[in-house]
Chain A
Amino acid sequence: MTILPFLPHLYWVFLQIGLFSFGGGYAMFPLIKAEVIGREWLSASEFVDIVAVAEMTPGTIAANSATFTGFQIAGFPGAIIATLGVITPSLVLLLFWGNILLKAKENAHMQSVLKGLRPAFIALIAMAAVFLGETSFVDLPSVIIFGVLFGLIIWRKVSPFLLIGTGALLGIILYPLFP
């Protein structure tokens, strides 16, 4: 198959994504955007659908998105390779140095680096939100759906699953009205 020589490259890309996704799934989206959409392995709207499915299904969002993205790029082997890539840094870091890291977390150097990383990974999540908005706001009603749901989650703390369910329902109601 022509896909085999490509798999090590896919593994390497997802290993980098795993290594730099501080704070888990959401912070991973800009990395996937830069590495996967930047290489034109996937289109932006395909990616948004992947994010949606990753949110709706059980499991960690980071692993779900990696598995799905890998599958869309290179089928079944791609799904396995991308997931392995994204979990490799955690596995290596924590299996071998987990105890050392637990002790070192009070270290002043590490604390200061972490304090500076926080604004950076929140900036990444904000970038993910803007990027998702760019691809999902196709007309006025879709912006209105966003506004209503954003209000619900900020003031009512609705669960992600319920929120996406409501989104789907609003979509089915509003979609035929604005062709």
Chain B
Amino acid sequence: MMKKTENELEAQTEECTPLVPLHQIFIVFLKIGAFTFGGGYVMLPIIQRELVSCKNWLESEEFYDILVLIQGLPGPVALNCALLTARKMRGMLGGVVAATGVILPSLIIIISIAAFLFPVIRGTYYVEAAFYGIRPAVTALVAAAAINMGRDLIRDKLGLFLLIILFFAGWWIGIHPIFLLLVGGFTGWIYYYHYREGDGE
């Protein structure tokens, strides 16, 4: 009985969408991990293009569902996307393979830089001069991310109020970030759960 259904299932999947080979999943995510500059949010559209448009491994709707979920998950954005998409295609094993692919380049590249390049160049004149300009650049990037995300995601007065209160509680009073997240989540649960009917916007 078990064997029969398995065979049927295999015949069926063979017919419309053959199982995606694990090594191909690995290679796609390895490429994305190794060649995408700018972090997780830059990777998401690239993962979408690779899996949905180029390879047809996933439906567009399936990917959209995953995108919605990722916004509420902790951890590296690209890793979460890799895990969820590969899990859809090849189950838990696929998830492990994709996660390895997307993280491995970070490990190799960063360890090489930290072990061999950084100790040698750090302290030399030109690198110090470059970092003098790179540090404000990084600050600008993160500040812009805060402003852009605030613009996109803060939609009501309570959101803005929470943002301001939590920011000052963290920055001025030095409340631990984990506590700020717990307060935000709990307030949201209390408020939005009770006012979800009236929330038209």
Q: Which residues of A contact B (CB under 8 A)?
A: 16, 18-26, 29-31, 34, 48-49, 51-64, 67-68, 71-72, 76, 79-80, 83, 86-87, 89-91, 93-95, 98-99, 101-102, 105, 108-130, 132-133, 135-138, 142-143, 145-146, 149-150, 152-154, 159-161, 163-164, 166-172, 174-176
Q: Mark B165-198, 1 if CB is under 8 A from A, else 0.
A: 0110011000011101101111111111100100
| Nearest CB on B from A12, distance (A) | 13
Q: Which residues of B contact A (CB under 8 A)?
A: 33-43, 65-66, 68-69, 71-80, 83-84, 87, 92, 95-96, 99, 102-103, 105-107, 109-111, 113-115, 118, 122, 126, 128-147, 149-150, 153-154, 159-160, 162-163, 166-167, 170-171, 176-178, 180-181, 183-193, 196
Q: Which of B99, B132, B160 contacts A174 (CB 8 A)?
A: B132
Q: Which of B65, B78, B193 contacts A112 (CB 8 A)?
A: B193
- In the bound complex, do residue B136 and residue A145 qualify as a contact, i.e. CB atoms below 8 Å apart? yes
A-B contact count (CB 8 A): 378
Task: Tell me whether A59 and B140 are in contact in the complex, defined as CB-CB below 8 angstroms, given that A22-B74, A71-B114, A90-B73 are known contacts.
Answer: no
Bound-state CA distance A18–B33 (Å) is: 18
- In the bound complex, do residue B68 and residue A76 qualify as a contact, i.e. CB atoms below 8 Å apart? no
For the A-B complex with A62-B76, A68-B113, A125-B145 known, give 19 more contacts whose Cβ atoms are closer than 8 Å. Answer: A24-B76, A25-B39, A31-B178, A48-B135, A49-B122, A58-B105, A86-B76, A105-B69, A105-B72, A110-B72, A113-B188, A114-B185, A114-B188, A120-B184, A142-B136, A145-B136, A167-B134, A168-B131, A174-B133
- In the bound complex, do residue B134 and residue A164 qualify as a contact, i.e. CB atoms below 8 Å apart? yes
Complex A-B: 30 CB contacts under 8 Å: A20-B178, A22-B72, A25-B76, A30-B170, A58-B109, A59-B102, A63-B103, A64-B110, A87-B99, A93-B75, A95-B92, A98-B84, A98-B87, A114-B188, A115-B188, A116-B187, A116-B189, A118-B188, A119-B166, A120-B162, A120-B184, A142-B135, A142-B136, A145-B137, A150-B140, A159-B37, A167-B134, A169-B133, A174-B133, A175-B133
